């Protein structure tokens, strides 16, 4: 157990492994997030896992394979994985769109390290654990939304011996191949011992494992270093299409109520972020889910500090003047995110998100604008329960109405996206499609894995609705985007050049989709391959911010990083932490291992019982 070698390597896969070689038109599936269509962002929980285990002396390295592949066309995944020598490989299959890339990485890990166990984890791994464990390249699945402690027990067992049957949340195989599903019993009510994500680990790891590219969350993060904080694990809402709803958490993670991070812990993390970043901090989930008192306490604590960064709040319910006036007193600058999904009250009610009148929505917007909000992002979606084509595209009329009502206020920003690529497994709509107006086209993990290699995003979709075919979903998505661009042009939010670019891109996307459909009719063979290859550069271009002008989603940043003095102090603190961990934690583990080896015990062999 060498002092500096990694015990556990966490690999983050690209969505589709061979995206650099083959033609895929991912379309607008990643239009509303910072990642590219390769979905190079890794689950924030990888940093909490790494930090938790490192504090106990284990070395944990994150390798963002997806990011490395995107930034370097020559990056040789096999060579890099072959060089690694951990005791355990971890691969996240958190988001189902990684189903293809995750399995391919597992195959590579096994090809070069047949004796090293490969463990999977995340939302989709937990959901599909039974199917996943049957793949020959997967040895274990760690289920649950809080895997830090069970993983510590697993690593101890792998390094020092012990039975796997007592490790909570673990699905594993005995040497004879029998699958064992341990109880999903580690579901902590408090997660205050964790910073989610753990930025201190991320920074420390850059020096420790000598790679910045491995922990960068998305391609242009250095230019646009926005950060986020998770305010809870779990949710109190039951949005029909969400795989992270209360229903889904109960079903997938055995969690009956959310674990909220305390206001103290959140404020502490905000102050830490301020030390290294000047960019906005996005607070994930509506803090009011934890109750009015919880929210008020957070604001009170925030008011006592000198907050410099802009904070972005998510609204799951309407808000009044009181809400905004307290925020204004606590922070210098704030923005809002509201995922309306539809402008129609009836559809919102059927989906279960922002179930309120449009008047309440507009009063909320008015309150925010009056109280100096920096900007409000409103999101609409194509493909929600029972929505028709017309209802989807007409959200643009509602956006026009809002701009008229609020005198063309440019702080109002509108976005639309399709429900894509997948209806989330574990969501109410995935589990009971007919009840929510869906026809589910794929169910198993293997079906989704294969679907991801389809050439265009239309064919990847795992559903259609009773009111919209997959063609309708694609067309409605593009038409809504065209209409929104028109509205933005009319109100001077988008200039003519940007507008024309959006139009040109959408028209080219539509032509490409049609051409792909024609190619799909051809038999396998040279002509098919050639015509697909000819589309390669077009489809790549059509997969980056198809629906809106580039950078529309970004908040203007005045200062990217922390001030030099603060950053220097932070770096010194990180150095001291590293020295402490090495001297008091790592060395202890190494000596224990040496002692066991000298006494002739071979822990690895004993652990698989």
Binding site for ligand B12 (CB under 6 A): 10, 29-30, 33, 35, 39, 41, 43-46, 48-49, 90-92, 94-97, 119-124, 142, 145-148, 151, 196, 230, 233, 235, 242-244, 284, 424-425
Three-class SS state of 48: helix
Least Å distance, CB 70 to ligand B12, is 11
Least Å distance, CB 35 to ligand B12, is 3
Judged by beta carbon, residue 142 or residue 484, the one nearer ligand B12 is 142
Judged by beta carbon, residue 148 or residue 464, the one nearer ligand B12 is 148
Least Å distance, CB 228 to ligand B12, is 6
Least Å distance, CB 119 to ligand B12, is 5
Least Å distance, CB 109 to ligand B12, is 12
What gap in Å lies between CA 465 and CA 504, rounded to an integer?
28
Judged by beta carbon, residue 123 or residue 209, the one nearer ligand B12 is 123
Q: Which of 79, 53, 170, 66 is nearest to 120 (CA)?
A: 170
Judged by beta carbon, residue 245 or residue 532, the one nearer ligand B12 is 245
Q: Which of 287, 325, 328, 289 is nearest to 307 (CA)?
A: 328
DSSP letter (8 states) at residue 202 = H
Judged by beta carbon, residue 54 or residue 515, the one nearer ligand B12 is 54
Judged by beta carbon, residue 286 or residue 479, the one nearer ligand B12 is 286
Dihedral, CA of residue 263, residue 265, residue 266 and residue 270, to nearest 10:
130
Judged by beta carbon, residue 367 or residue 546, the one nearer ligand B12 is 546
Q: How far is CA 572 from CA 76, 482, 577, 578, in A?
A: 34, 51, 9, 10
Q: What angle do CA 341, 344, 347 make, to 5 degrees?
A: 70
Judged by beta carbon, residue 138 or residue 395, the one nearer ligand B12 is 138
Least Å distance, CB 566 to ligand B12, is 24
The secondary structure of 343-404, three-state, reads CCHHHHHHHCCCCCCHHHHHHHHHHHHHCCCCCEEEEEEECCCCCCHHHHHCHHHHHHHHHH
Least Å distance, CB 482 to ligand B12, is 21
What gap in Å lies between CA 390 and CA 291, rounded to an integer?
37
Least Å distance, CB 186 to ligand B12, is 10
How many of the other CB atoms lie within 10 Å of CB of 550? 12
Contact criterion met (CB below 8 Å) for 387 and 342: yes
Cis previous bond, 197, omega within 30: yes
Q: How far is CA 323 from CA 228, 307, 516, in A?
A: 21, 18, 50
């Amino acid at each position: 157990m060498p002092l500096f070698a990694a015990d556990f390597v966490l690999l983050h896969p690209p969505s589709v492994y061979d995206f650099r070689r083959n033609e895929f038109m991912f379309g607008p599936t990643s239009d509303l997030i910072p990642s590219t269509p390769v979905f190079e962002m890794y689950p924030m929980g990888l940093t909490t896992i790494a930090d938790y285990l490192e504090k106990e002396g284990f070395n944990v390295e994150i390798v963002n394979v997806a990011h490395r592949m995107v930034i370097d066309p020559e990056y040789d995944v096999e060579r890099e994985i072959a060089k690694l020598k951990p005791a355990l490989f971890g691969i996240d299959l958190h988001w189902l769109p990684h189903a293809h890339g995750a399995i391919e990485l597992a195959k590579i890990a096994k090809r070069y390290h047949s004796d090293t166990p490969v463990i999977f984890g995340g939302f989709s791994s937990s959901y599909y654990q039974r199917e996943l464990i049957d793949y020959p390249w997967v040895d274990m699945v760690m289920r649950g939304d809080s895997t830090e402690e069970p993983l510590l027990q697993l690593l101890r067992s792998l390094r020092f011996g012990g039975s796997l049957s007592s490790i909570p949340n673990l699905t594993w195989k005995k040497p004879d191949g029998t699958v064992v599903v341990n109880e999903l019993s580690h579901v902590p009510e408090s997660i205050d011992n964790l910073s989610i994500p753990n930025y201190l680990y991320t920074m420390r790891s850059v020096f420790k494992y000598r790679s910045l590219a491995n922990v960068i969350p998305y391609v242009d993060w250095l230019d646009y270093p926005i950060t986020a904080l998770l305010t809870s694990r779990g949710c109190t809402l039951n949005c029909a299409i969400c795989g992270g709803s209360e229903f889904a958490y109960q079903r997938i993670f055995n969690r009956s109520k959310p674990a909220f991070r305390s206001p103290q812990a959140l404020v502490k993390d905000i102050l830490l972020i301020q030390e290294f970043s000047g960019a906005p901090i996005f607070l994930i989930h509506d803090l009011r889910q934890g109750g009015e008192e919880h929210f008020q306490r957070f604001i009170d604590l925030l008011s006592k500090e000198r907050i410099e960064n802009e904070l972005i709040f998510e609204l799951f319910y309407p808000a009044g003047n009181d809400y905004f006036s307290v925020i204004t007193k606590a922070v210098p600058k704030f923005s809002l995110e509201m995922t309306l999904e539809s402008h129609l009250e009836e559809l919102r009610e059927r989906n279960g998100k922002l179930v309120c009148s449009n008047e309440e929505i507009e009063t909320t917007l008015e309150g925010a604008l009056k109280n100096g909000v920096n900007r409000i992002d409103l999101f609409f979606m194509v493909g929600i329960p029972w929505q028709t084509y017309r209802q989807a595209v007409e959200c643009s009329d509602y956006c026009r109405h809002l701009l008229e009502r609020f005198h063309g206020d440019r702080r109002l920003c509108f976005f639309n996206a399709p429900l894509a690529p997948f209806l989330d497994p574990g969501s109410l709509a995935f589990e009971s499609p007919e009840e929510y107006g869906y026809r589910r086209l794929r169910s198993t993990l293997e079906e989704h894995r294969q679907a991801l290699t389809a050439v265009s995003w239309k064919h990847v979709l795992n559903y259609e609705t009773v009111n919209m075919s997959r063609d309708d979903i694609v067309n409605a998505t593009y038409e809504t985007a065209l209409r929104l661009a028109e509205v933005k042009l009319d109100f001077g939010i988008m200039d003519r050049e940007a507008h024309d670019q959006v139009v040109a891109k959408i028209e080219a996307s539509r032509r490409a989709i049609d051409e792909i459909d024609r190619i799909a009719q051809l038999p396998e063979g040279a002509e098919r391959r050639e015509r697909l290859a000819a589309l390669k550069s077009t489809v790549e271009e059509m997969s980056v911010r198809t629906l809106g002008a580039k950078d529309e989603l970004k908040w203007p940043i005045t200062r990217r990083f922390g001030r030099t003095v603060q950053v220097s102090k932070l770096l010194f603190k990180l150095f001291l932490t590293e020295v402490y961990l090495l001297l008091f934690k790592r060395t202890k583990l190494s000596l224990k291992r040496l002692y066991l080896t000298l006494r002739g015990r071979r822990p690895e062999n004993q652990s698989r019982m």
